[in-house]
Each structure stands twice: as C-alpha cells, then as structure tokens.
Amino acid sequence: MVSIDLAAPVVQSYLFYSSVLALKVFLMSALTGKARYQRNVFPNQEDTLITKGKVKFDDPEIERLRRAHLNDLENIPAFWVLGALYLTTGPSASLATTLFRVFTFGRITYTIVYAIKPLPQPTRFIAFAIPLLINTYMGLTVFLTYLGAY
C-alpha cells in the first residue's frame, strides 16, 4: 500500500476532478429546479401555491434531467471511492490523471448528450461506457493489488 501525500500531483488531480464532479451533481439539481419553474411543474402540492403551477410527475424534459441526475448519483460516488482506493496502488501520475480527466469529461458529456441536447445512440452509450470502464479498471486494479494480502 502506498501512503497518500496530499501534495502529490496525482492526489491533487484526483481532488480537483472529484470537486468538478461534485459541482456537476449540484448543477443537476439546479437544472432540474430551473426546468420545473420554467415549465411550472412541481412534484408537491405546496410547491405550486406561489406559482399557481401544477403537480405533475411525467413531464418528459424534467424526467430526463432527473434520470441524468440519478445516473450521476449511481456512478460518481463509485468513482470517488474507487479513485481514492486506486491512489493507494501507486499508479503512474500521468495514467491516473488521464483516467480522472476522461471519467469527468465522460460524465459531463453524458449529461449533455442525454439531458441537455439529446443525441441519437450510440453517442449516449459511449459517453456512459467509457467512465464505466474507467471505474471497472480502477476497481480491478485495486482488487488485484490487494488480492495477495488476504
């Protein structure tokens, strides 16, 4: 196991891209809220009192944003855990930084091609699959690194 030095460029890279991803998750909440107010559609009756909006659970634009947000909530926390564990395997700084960068770019691209400006398949599949493969690679690297320890 390699000790983690917060001054190490690879750790700073992980922290930087992790913060970008955290901000992206928060941005998805804001985008969903903005869409709700623009469309005057809300999930709770009390939310409609001021705007005189309506309660609706099947607005296509809002549901698409919500699904993209949920997809982030399923994939980004796994990146945070796997990325932190991956750092303990002593990866090359350039490889690790590339993985973190491509994962982040892939998640942002996924949101754009799915929820912001929907594009036909296989665009969304590629934007989803590349970050998934990166998480898988990091997870397998951690698993194989520590397999002999037990």
Residue pLDDT, tens place only, 55-82? 667 888 889 999 999 999 999 999 999 9
Q: Averaged over 44-52, what is the pLDDT?
A: 70
Place of tokens 């309660």: 55
CATH number at residue 80: 1.20.120.550
Overall number of domains in the chain:
1
Please, what is the average pLDDT of the chain? 91
Question: How confident is residue 5, by pLDDT bands cut at 50, 70 and 90?
Answer: confident
Residue 41: inside a domain: no
Residue 51: inside a domain: no
Q: What percent of the chain has pLDDT over 70?
A: 93
Distance CA 98, CA 81 (A): 17
**pLDDT tens digits for range 124-138:** 999 999 999 999 999
Residue 86: inside a domain: yes
Question: How confident is residue 49, by pLDDT bands cut at 50, 70 and 90?
Answer: low
CB-count burial class (<10 Å; 0-12, 13-18, 19+) for 71: middle
Residue 129: inside a domain: yes
21 pLDDT above the threshold of 90: yes
**pLDDT confidence of residue 42:** 82
Q: Averaged over 96-110, what is the pLDDT?
A: 98
**pLDDT confidence of residue 37:** 82
Residue by residue, DSSP assigns the chain as -PPP-TTSHHHHHHHHHHHHHHHHHHHHHHHHHHHHHHHTEESSGGGGTTTT-EE-S--HHHHHHHHHHHHHHHHHHHHHHHHHHHHTT---HHHHHHHHHHHHHHHHHHHIIIIIS---TTHHHHHHHHHHHHHHHHHHHHHHHHHTT-
Range of the domain at 133: 16-31+59-147
Does the pTM of the predicted model rise above 0.85?
Answer: yes
Within 13 Å of residue 23, how many CA atoms lie on the same side as its CB? 8
Residue 87: inside a domain: yes
101: Cβ contacts below 8 Å, ≥ 6 apart: 13, 17
